[in-house]
């Protein structure tokens, strides 16, 4: 089946906007909406306008009785939105005050970090990206929206669309991975899932694409840090997922904590006004990240809170999260002529537009019959399916799947940790609903002996090693559940060393001496460096933090009732010292080659000084990752053959078809993620060695074959050059149909 491919960027946005404007009914509706907004703003006081720009709340949830001062502020129209008010009685009380007692009756928006589930928790976003499946991402967002809207939340701070190339960064766990094409596919799916078929449906959430922009490029993988990104790189790599989200109708955007080339995002006119508003035609509203407006003082960009408010307002930041510079200083800044009331009106209208679209003016309260279907069977089934599709089999020495009659030693700190299994950003997940691997083994009557060996992932004590070794000796197979606790990834949890923490490696090496085969199941928020123990284990399954139903998914995979469906959405480094590492890198003038690589230990003592292999590599670990982007094994094997091009040359108005035959060579049914890559061999600026341009997930029975076809046109070959023009240049292009970014069937064509 043919697939239309291409990066979702400015031309697509423009075409989409043109198509929308041709719909006369929609134009009429928009005109009426804008008239309502204009009339409302015209009658608002400056204090009421400032109130709409104000987002209040606490870091987790509002606790205790609602302060009278807070209720009075709502009564006076001085607050436009809340975050982390999770008590439905409080939500209703505040909303009633806003709608029935405030001067203009403008409803509040209630928001929450619902990142990969509300009550039913799905795999972390990096795990969902490993599914390479838009429907899985969409399902996770839809279930989240249905559940959390039952407590009055109509706005989520998700999806996170930061391209992440450094596994040291804690927030890689929330990211869609390293590739702009895959991230763009997921961006659209998340927005559609959160916002549903109609924004004014009581189960819809306003999506918030974050963090705009370049947060994943923070130096050294250190959170909140500087990002230095050339404008072509910004547009070719970091912008496309946000363009896709805007094109899909995302109602809000969140600015990032970082600066971009010297200018913090929350006061960056170029990215908020020029790129987001003018180029992408975004008509929703922009919210700051937590206190990121006043943090411009720490950056050295704003002199004080007043100056920070001036910079953010003039850059086009609509709503300030938690800090109070807008509340304190907008009125005086208008009086001083440093900002205009017209600009304030523009910001207020953007916020009101979203509130109208959500139907909050007509239906401000949660319907009494809406209970969210928390932990509904359908929700749990979708979460289980996501955990299966997200799990990546990285190594398998013919040990998996296990037969049901084997005796298993279950060892490791994460086999029965319901809280840790949920992962980062799960404020509302209830660990009592988590099904751990041990729970699943009990339910399916697995013959196992469970000895943790280590009580938590960072545990350095060896006191329980002997008990674990004894259990291993009495069993046929060892299942070692290792990785990271949930708190070790996420915001402000960057790591310089991404090995298994604590004494996990020591325990694995001790177990390896028993001679029993070891299956390593990793639960973590990032790729884990396993080079020290990769040769001590017979199989490696990356389960990420798999969520509520992760235990059942893992049990089914281990015993062959399900296929590990995931493929890596990031390059997996040998060691943290390789980071940042990503497949779509540039070639360099001396690209590494196997025949010229010189390993450090092979250098003679006292050797004459030379540049040895003369290529770009590390002396101690070489130049290849542990596992490449797109990699993942199955319980069967696939053969790629018969690569075909419909023609060898295309021009501007032509479409080229590339196809290959995929055959299941194994003895069981299996799924394969067929990937399509292109290389622009020579460009006016250097181009990546490969770029993902399409993929298709196929299911094949044993011995079956399927032809997979991709289509490409000039539009799909375009990139932003060093003059900021979106161009396709004549020349040679290489193409691959492949199972991952380091292999595949290769051919070439010319564009004229």
Residues annotated as part of the active site: 289
- Read off the tokens for 743: 């292999």
By the 10 Å C-beta count (0-12 exposed, 13-18 middle, 19+ buried), 43 is classed as: exposed
- Burial label for 270, CB within 10 Å (0-12, 13-18, 19+), is middle
Phi-psi map region of 132: left, alpha, beta (phi>0 left; psi -120 to 50 alpha): left
3-state SS assignment for residue 189: helix
408-411 vs 477-483, strand pairing mode: parallel
Task: Give the list of residues 6+ apart from residue 442 with CB closer than 8 angstroms, or none.
Answer: none
Nearest to 691 by CA among 638, 750, 623, 738: 738
DSSP classification of residue 234: I
b (16+ CB within 10 A) / e for 461-478: eeebbeebbebbeebebb
- What is the Cα Rg of the chain in Å? 27
Query: CA 335, 338, 344: angle at the middle one, nearest 5?
Result: 80
Q: Token digits for 614?
A: 């003369």
State how far the alpha carbon of 672 is from the alpha carbons of 98, 356, 566, in Å. Answer: 53, 44, 9
711-725 burial, b for 16+ CB within 10 Å, e for fewer?
Answer: bbbbbbbbbbbeeee
Q: 13 with 243: CB under 8 angstroms?
A: yes
- Is the separation of the CB atoms in 228 and 219 below 8 Å? yes
The Cα 544–Cα 166 span in angstroms is 16
Contact 528, 172 (CB under 8 A): no
Do the beta carbons of residue 289 and residue 331 sit within 8 Å?
no
CB 453 within 8 A of CB 503: no
User: What's the burial of 28, exposed, middle or buried (CB within 10 Å: 0-12/13-18/19+)?
Assistant: exposed
Q: At what angle do helices 305-315 and 325-335 cross, to 10 degrees?
A: 80
Q: In the Cβ-directed half-sphere of 378, how many Cα atoms lie within 13 Å?
A: 8
- Give ∠ CA 231-232-235 in degrees, rounded to 5: 85
CB distance 682 to 732 below 8 Å: yes
Segments in 102-166 forming alpha helices (H): 125-130, 134-148
- How is residue 575 written in tokens? 């060691």
Q: Which residue, chain included where needed, has tokens 């959160």?
A: 194
- List the beta bridge partners of residue 645: 658
CA angle at residue 677 from 671 to 681, to 5 degrees?
Answer: 165
What's the CA gap between 330 and 313, in Å, rounded? 8
Instruction: Find tokens 């037969």 and name the residue.
Output: 403
Give CA 655 to chain center in angstroms: 32
CB 246 within 8 A of CB 13: yes
376-430-482 Cα angle (round to 5): 110
Residue 497's contacts (CB-CB under 8 Å, 6 or more residues apart) are 529, 576
Give kind and range of the element (H or E) at residue 708: strand 705-713
């Amino acid at each position: 089946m043919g697939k239309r491919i291409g990066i979702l960027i400015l031309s697509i946005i423009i075409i989409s906007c043109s198509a929308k404007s041709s719909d006369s009914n929609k134009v009429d509706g928009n005109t009426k909406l804008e008239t309502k907004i204009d009339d409302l703003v015209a009658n608002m006081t400056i204090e009421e306008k400032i109130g709409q720009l104000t987002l209040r709340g606490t870091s987790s949830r509002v606790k205790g009785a609602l302060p009278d001062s807070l209720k009075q502020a709502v009564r006076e129209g001085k607050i436009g939105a809340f975050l982390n008010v999770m008590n439905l009685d409080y939500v209703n009380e505040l909303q009633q005050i806003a709608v029935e007692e405030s001067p203009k009756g403008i409803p509040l928006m209630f928001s929450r970090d619902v990142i990969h589930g509300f009550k039913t928790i799905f795999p972390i976003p990096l795990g969902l990206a490993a599914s390479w499946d838009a429907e899985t991402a969409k399902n996770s967002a839809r279930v989240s929206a249905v559940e959390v809207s039952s407590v009055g939340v109509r706005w989520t701070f998700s999806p996170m669309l930061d391209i992440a190339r450094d596994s040291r960064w804690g927030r890689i766990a929330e990211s869609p991975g390293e590739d702009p094409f895959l991230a763009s596919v997921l961006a659209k799916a998340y927005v559609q899932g959160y916002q549903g078929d109609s924004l004014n449906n009581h189960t819809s959430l306003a999506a918030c694409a974050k963090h705009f922009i370049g947060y994943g490029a923070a130096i050294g993988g250190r959170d909140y840090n500087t990002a230095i990104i050339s404008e072509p790189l910004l547009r070719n790599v970091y912008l496309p997922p946000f363009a896709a989200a805007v094109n899909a109708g995302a109602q809000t955007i969140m600015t990032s904590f970082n600066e971009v080339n010297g200018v913090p995002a929350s006061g960056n006119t170029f990215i908020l006004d020029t790129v987001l508003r003018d180029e992408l035609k975004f008509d929703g509203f922009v919210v700051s990240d937590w206190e990121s407006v006043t943090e411009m003082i720490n950056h050295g960009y704003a002199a004080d809170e007043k100056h920070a408010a001036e910079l953010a307002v003039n850059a086009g930041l609509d709503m300030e999260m938690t800090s109070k510079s807008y509340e304190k200083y907008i009125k005086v800044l208008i009086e001083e002529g440093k900002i205009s009331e017209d600009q304030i009106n523009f910001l207020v209208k953007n916020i009101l537009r979203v509130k109208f679209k959500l139907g909050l003016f007509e239906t401000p309260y949660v319907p009494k019959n809406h209970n969210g279907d928390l932990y509904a069977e359908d929700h749990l089934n979708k979460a289980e399916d996501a955990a299966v599709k997200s799990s990546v089999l990285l190594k398998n020495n013919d040990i998996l799947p296990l037969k049901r009659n084997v005796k298993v030693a279950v060892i490791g700190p994460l086999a029965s940790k319901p809280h840790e299994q949920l992962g980062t950003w799960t404020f509302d997940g209830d660990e009592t609903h988590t099904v751990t691997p041990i729970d699943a083994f009990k339910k399916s009557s697995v013959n196992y002996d469970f000895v943790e060996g280590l009580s938590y992932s960072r545990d350095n004590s060896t006191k329980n090693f002997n008990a674990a070794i004894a259990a291993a000796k009495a069993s046929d197979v060892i299942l070692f559940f290792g990785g990271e606790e949930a708190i070790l990834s996420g915001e402000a949890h960057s790591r310089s060393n991404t090995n298994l923490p604590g004494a996990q490696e020591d325990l694995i090496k001790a177990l390896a001496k028993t001679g029993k085969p070891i299956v390593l199941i990793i639960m973590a928020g990032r790729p884990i460096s396993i080079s020290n123990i990769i040769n001590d284990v017979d199989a490696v399954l990356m389960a990420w933090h798999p969520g509520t139903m992760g235990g059942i998914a893992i049990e089914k995979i281990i015993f062959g009732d399900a296929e590990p469906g995931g493929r890596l959405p990031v390059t997996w480094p040998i060691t943290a010292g390789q980071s940042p590492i990503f497949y779509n890198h540039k070639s360099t003038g001396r690209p590494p080659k196997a025949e010229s690589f010189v390993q450090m230990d092979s250098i003679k003592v006292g050797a004459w000084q030379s540049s040895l292999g003369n290529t770009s590599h590390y002396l101690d670990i070489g130049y290849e990752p542990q596992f490449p982007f797109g990699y993942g094994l199955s319980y069967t094997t696939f053969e790629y053959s018969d690569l075909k091009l419909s023609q060898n040359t295309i021009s501007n108005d032509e479409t080229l078809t590339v196809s290959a035959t995929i055959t299941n060579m194994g003895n069981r049914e299996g799924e394969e993620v067929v990937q399509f890559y292109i290389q622009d061999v020579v460009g006016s600026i250097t181009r990546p060695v490969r770029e993902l341009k399409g993929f298709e997930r196929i299911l094949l029975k044993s011995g079956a074959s399927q032809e997979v076809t991709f289509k490409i046109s000039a539009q799909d070959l375009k990139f932003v050059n060093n003059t900021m023009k979106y161009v396709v240049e004549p020349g040679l292009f290489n193409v691959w149909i492949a199972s991952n970014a380091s292999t595949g069937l290769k051919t070439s064509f010319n564009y004229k």
